[in-house]
């Protein structure tokens, strides 16, 4: 089997609920996605997707994805898409760094390989560990009253896990989180996510003032060492997200004992191949795991669901349904969401049925 044709599409995906806000004025109105199709000489097509969250969240930007895919794709023509490790090494050889650019191409190869084997992607990723994964919802940064009201509405909608955005003015965020915790039932799972917005000094201030609230602290500071300095005085679990960009960094986090859990972003790591590798090692090392991404619609959410449901349930934290964030559709047979849990679509590969007419005209085509 050989890769015969690669197409790339640019799809802007506006958010259903308006701007997504983090601390320090960081916000986005939409996911700016690149969707890739890879078709083999046997006529099987696999799909991949990558969308950064603005230009502020990760070292990735949408125009860079569009430019990079055009540079990498010609090198993949004629190669076996089922040789996933080989394809990954080839991409790293011809294009140094920039893992986010390679993510959609890698994802499309996994989808194609699973479709060629006529099995769901979850089977190739280690097997299905449960039928569904618990979802969380985000309480975006805003006024005290707005955040408390949003948290209450989310819980009333049947969700039990909240990620509360912090990382701004410490004293204001203490007030915000206190109000959110008071607005939801006892036992609601709360993650306080600063998105690396604080210095260790600020993170310690926040942690000390909120000792009476039950939450998990997520990525308070930028570097592993900074987060480790906060963890030494912390009496709560810590999860790192932005710090996990490679296998080497994950192993350093483990060596230092800097976190209890990890959030693995598919595009930040370079695709499904490296996400699966890091996840499997992290599970064996005892970490709690969330597998998600920086953004996307049905294609990317399906990949997240397959990776989540092939993660041992006792090591899985939660998941997120990005396709419910956006106003546009790109596929049918999307990942099913019932109440606060998400499954995977029936069918081979990712399981979804991408509708090319919904994507518009490709901005790049190579092959036959």
Q: What is the pLDDT of residue 203?
A: 98
Q: Are 67 and 29 in contact (CB under 8 A)?
A: no
Q: What is the pLDDT of residue 347?
A: 97
Annotated active-site residue in 102, 137, 265, 274: 265
Q: What is the pLDDT of residue 56?
A: 85
Is it the case that residue 153 has pLDDT exceeding 80?
Answer: yes
Q: What is the pLDDT of residue 54?
A: 82
Mean pLDDT of 64-80: 97
Is it the case that residue 12 has pLDDT exceeding 90?
Answer: yes
Distance CA 5, CA 325 (A): 31
pLDDT tens-digit profile of 288-297? 999 999 999 9
Q: What angle do CA 126, 128, 131 make, to 5 degrees?
A: 160
**69, 83, 151, 323, 353 from 298: Cα distances, Å:** 20, 25, 25, 5, 9
pLDDT averaged over every residue in the chain: 96
Q: Read off the pLDDT band of 35 (50, 70, 90).
A: very high
**66, 87, 92, 150, 233 from 95: Cα distances, Å:** 14, 12, 5, 43, 42
Quick one: DSSP state of residue 349? B
pTM: predicted TM-score of the whole model, two decimal places: 0.96
How would you classify the pairing of strands 189-193 and 216-218?
parallel
Is it the case that residue 121 has pLDDT exceeding 80?
Answer: yes
Is it the case that residue 104 has pLDDT exceeding 80?
Answer: yes
Q: Which tokens go with 222? A: 């930028």
- 131 CB neighbour count, 10 Å cutoff: 10
Distance CA 16, CA 31 (A): 11
102 is catalytic: no
Coil, strand or helix at 69: helix
Q: What is the pLDDT of residue 191?
A: 98
Contacts of 191 (CB under 8 A, 6+ apart): 136, 161, 162, 163, 164, 215, 216, 217, 218, 239
Q: Read off the pLDDT band of 159 (50, 70, 90).
A: very high
Q: What is the pLDDT of residue 58?
A: 82
Q: Read off the pLDDT band of 45 (50, 70, 90).
A: very high
Paired with 112 in beta bridges are: none
Contacts of 103 (CB under 8 A, 6+ apart): 48, 50, 266, 267, 269, 270, 271, 293
pLDDT tens-digit profile of 216-265? 999 999 999 999 999 999 999 999 999 999 999 999 999 999 999 999 99
Q: Read off the pLDDT band of 73 (50, 70, 90).
A: very high
361 is catalytic: no
Distance CA 96, CA 250 (A): 20
Is it the case that residue 17 has pLDDT exceeding 80?
Answer: yes
Is it the case that residue 57 has pLDDT exceeding 90?
Answer: no
String of DSSP letters for 184-219:
S-TT-EEEEE-TT-S-HHHHHHHHHHTTTS--EEE-
Distance CA 294, CA 269 (A): 11
Q: What is the pLDDT of residue 59?
A: 84
Q: What is the pLDDT of residue 351?
A: 98
Of 276, 86, 74, nearest to 291 by C-alpha is: 276
How would you classify the pairing of strands 341-342 and 288-292?
unpaired
Q: What is the pLDDT of residue 92?
A: 97
Share of residues in the chain with pLDDT > 70 (%)? 100
Annotated active-site residue in 7, 102, 137, 165: 165
């Amino acid at each position: 089997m050989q890769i015969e044709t690669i197409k790339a599409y640019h799809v802007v995906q506006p958010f259903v609920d308006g701007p997504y806000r983090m601390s320090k004025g960081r916000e986005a109105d939409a996911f700016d996605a690149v969707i890739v199709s890879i078709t083999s000489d046997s006529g099987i097509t696999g799909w991949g997707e990558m969308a950064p969250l603005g230009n502020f969240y990760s070292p990735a930007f949408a125009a860079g994805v569009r430019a990079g895919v055009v540079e990498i794709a010609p090198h993949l023509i004629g190669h076996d898409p089922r040789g996933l490790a080989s394809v990954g090494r080839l991409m790293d050889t011809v294009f140094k760094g920039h893992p986010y650019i390679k993510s959609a191409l890698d994802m499309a190869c996994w989808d194609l390989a699973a479709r060629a084997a006529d099995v769901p992607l979850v089977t190739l990723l280690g097997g299905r560990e449960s039928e569904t994964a618990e979802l969380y919802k985000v309480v975006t940064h805003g006024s005290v009253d707005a955040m408390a009201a949003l948290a209450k509405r989310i819980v009333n909608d049947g969700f039990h896990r909240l990620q509360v955005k912090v990382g701004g003015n410490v004293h204001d965020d203490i007030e915000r989180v206190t109000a959110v915790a008071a607005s939801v039932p006892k036992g609601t799972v709360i993650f306080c996510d600063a998105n690396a917005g604080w210095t260790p000094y600020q993170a310690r201030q926040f942690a000390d003032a909120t000792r009476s609230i039950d939450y998990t602290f997520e990525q308070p500071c930028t570097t592993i060492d900074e987060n480790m300095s906060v963890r030494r005085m912390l009496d709560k679990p810590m999860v790192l997200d932005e710090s996990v960009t490679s296998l080497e960094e994950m192993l350093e986090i483990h060596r230092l004992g800097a976190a209890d859990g990890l959030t693995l972003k598919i595009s930040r790591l370079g695709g499904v191949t490296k996400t699966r590798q890091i996840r499997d090692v992290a599970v064996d090392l005892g970490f709690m795991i969330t597998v998600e991404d920086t953004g996307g619609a049905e294609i990317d959410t399906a990949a997240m669901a397959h990776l989540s449901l092939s993660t041992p349930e006792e090591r899985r934290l939660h998941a997120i349904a990005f396709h419910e964030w956006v106003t546009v559709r790109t596929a049918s047979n999307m990942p099913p969401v019932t109440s606060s849990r998400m499954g995977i679509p029936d069918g081979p590969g990712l399981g979804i049925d991408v509708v090319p007419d919904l994507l518009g005209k490709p901005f790049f085509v190579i092959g036959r």
